[in-house]
Chain A
Amino acid sequence: MSLHVDDLRVYYRTLAGDVKALDGATFDVADGEIMGLAGESGCGKSTLGKSLIRLDGRMRYAGGHVVLDGKELPIWDDEAMNPFRFHNVSIVPQYAMSALNPTRKIGRMIGELLRARGADPRTVESELARRLDLVGLEQGVLGLYPIELSGGMKQRVVMVISTLLDPSLLIADEITSALDVSTQKAVARMLVEFRDRGFVKSMIVITHDIAVLYQVADTILVMYAGKLAEKASAEEIVSSPKHPYTRLLVSSLPEVGVRYEEKELHGIPGRPPSLLTPPTGCRFRDRCPLATARCAQEPPWVEENGRGVACWEAASSQAARPSLVAGAR
């Protein structure tokens, strides 16, 4: 399978105008690849994920193409997307585990869901049993109400349901955020296992937690204020990031073992720009310690050796990475 996204733009309608939540995203996801989508709140990652399956009615498609397995997805049309949902593209939405119908037993809910998607529950019964077993849930879970399950169990159930019909692409939106650290590890591992066993061909994992992405993702795509900032393999993003935003972000993450007295970490001063009237040029300009006059013009996305970055400074100085200290703080 492969996913090709070309200059995707998705805006939100509001009284005050269009909020340009996603303003031009171009990238590919290869067969078997787990791509992490990282960024802070408001960067557009959730919008990107939801727009690939057209989940949110408030979104207004504003341009671009999405091609999955050679077929263009009609993401501008809610009804036309129906046959694709669950079969080709599937999503585990944010807060999914809190959104289970409290008055339905799990088994009944799965049956209703499958029927609504045009699949016969009986044909997938044995597969369902197999997968529940795989993720460490007892068969009895089908007879329980959501309130009787723990957070981790609910998340696992949701993941099994979303991948039951073996979609080509799975979008996982913040599925580890509300979990305890030990459950988080189990669920993240489960993602990888699903891919390894072929239940899903590729995944886009959306989260703000870069450390989790480092553990499970092959590549990481970092977004900022509706635009793509950098894309590289997980190892490269963490050890040698190029975009100033990525560098500042990675350096602000405390790791176990790092203490304040030894090494004081710093955040990024300022706030992301308003997406209602985004500034011209590079959107990170105001907070970037490396900003120059050139940044008043929007930097192009430059891709080389599988790494992409949208920054004048990063693209120009290939040899030496300019120090962030001068001008920082």
Chain B
Amino acid sequence: MLSLDHVSKTYHVGAFGRGRLTAVRDVSFELRPGEVLSLIGESGSGKSTIGRLILRLMAPSVGSITYEDVDIADFGGRALKEYYRHVQGVFQDPFSSYNPIFKVDRVFGMLRAEFFPRVGSEEWRARLEAALESVSLNPEDVLHKFPHQLSGGQLQRLLVARALLLEIRYLVADEIISMLDASTRIDVLNLLADLKGRGLGVLFITHDLSLGNYISDRTVILRHGCIVEMGETGKVFGDARHPYTQDLLASVPLLHEKWASNGDAEPATRRSHELVEAPPLVPVEDGHLVAAG
């Protein structure tokens, strides 16, 4: 189990790092195998930061992230590599995730060099093809190509295949479909749902509520770095209690229902994040917590 415990992240900004920007504030939740947890928030909510904290691309300022009851901040070189055997990530921009001057095979080659140095060529090829097939990609179509020769959907699926080559238990999917076309999005989403069925735990970071609702078992709603509501997806979406969640749901454009003609939520000027402390989460029903206040 992967769990976050009162995690906060504060950046130093400005000249000589005098200013402070708190991206994540006192966030706690758990990620379990075999389930999809949606982390939903708008831009500036800290959701991507949480993804990067879990992937140990940065360290939390306060709090801890534990994997199987061990704090990941303690991981040194070898332990970190072991961690990456079990936890991997896929990012938003498929074209930025590949070094444009190399062929896409390189991401697999890198993995092989670092994690599977003793695996023979034949067996590696077999494993690679199996991984590609499990994400519905034809090896002939995608291997030995440059990133600009493939589509965004193919590139994203390649990255999922890469993660599957390791025996990962958790996948952090950071807005992985926002740059894909509508017709390919759903296929990548179905892939994630399929992986969940095979025992993988997925942290699905998105700003799109309909997508989150489609595949996730539990949902966390983030706002300005704090959790405002979390719980089973059905309960959070079906019976949203926090006004922010309700506003979000009311703003989603639906396909068969027009927007209700109420006022618009965004304030006229940009306000700095006034909250000093994150409001505590209060359970309103079984499996459903809402921030107080």
Contacts and interface: CB of A to CB of B under 8 A. Distances in A.
Interface of A: 40-41, 136-138, 148-153, 180-186, 188-189, 208-212, 214-215, 238-239, 248-250, 252-260, 264-269, 271
Interface residues of B, number: 40
Interface string B178-191: 00011111110110
A252 B237 contact: no
Interface stretch (B25-33, B51-59, B168-176, B207-215): B207-215
B215 to A, nearest CB: 5
Nearest to A252: B186
Of B183, B264, B270, most A-chain CB atoms within 10 Å: B183
Nearest to B234: A259
Nearest to B178: A177
Interface centre among A186, A260, A264 (most CB of B within 10 A): A260
Nearest to B184: A267
B254 A182 contact: no
B266 A266 contact: no
A79 to B, nearest CB: 35
A181 B42 contact: yes
Given A185-B264, A260-B193, A267-B185, A214 B253 contact: yes
Contacts of A182: 42, 247-248, 251, 264-266
A254 B183 contact: no
Contacts of A209: 253
A185 to B, nearest CB: 4
Given A149-B270, A182-B248, A267 B253 contact: no
Contacts of A238: 255-256
A148 B270 contact: yes
Contact of A211 (B186, B255, B266): B255
Contacts of A268: 183-184
Given A215-B259, A254-B211, A181 B183 contact: no
Nearest to A136: B268
A215 B251 CA distance: 11
A267 B183 contact: yes
A184 B253 CA distance: 9
24 contacts: A40-B183, A41-B181, A153-B270, A180-B42, A181-B248, A182-B247, A184-B251, A185-B251, A185-B259, A185-B264, A210-B255, A214-B258, A215-B259, A238-B256, A254-B210, A254-B213, A256-B210, A256-B254, A257-B237, A258-B213, A264-B190, A265-B190, A267-B183, A267-B186
B254 A40 contact: no
A127 B158 CA distance: 53
A206 B183 CA distance: 17
Given A254-B214, A260-B214, A181 B209 contact: yes
Contacts of B254: 211, 214-215, 255-256
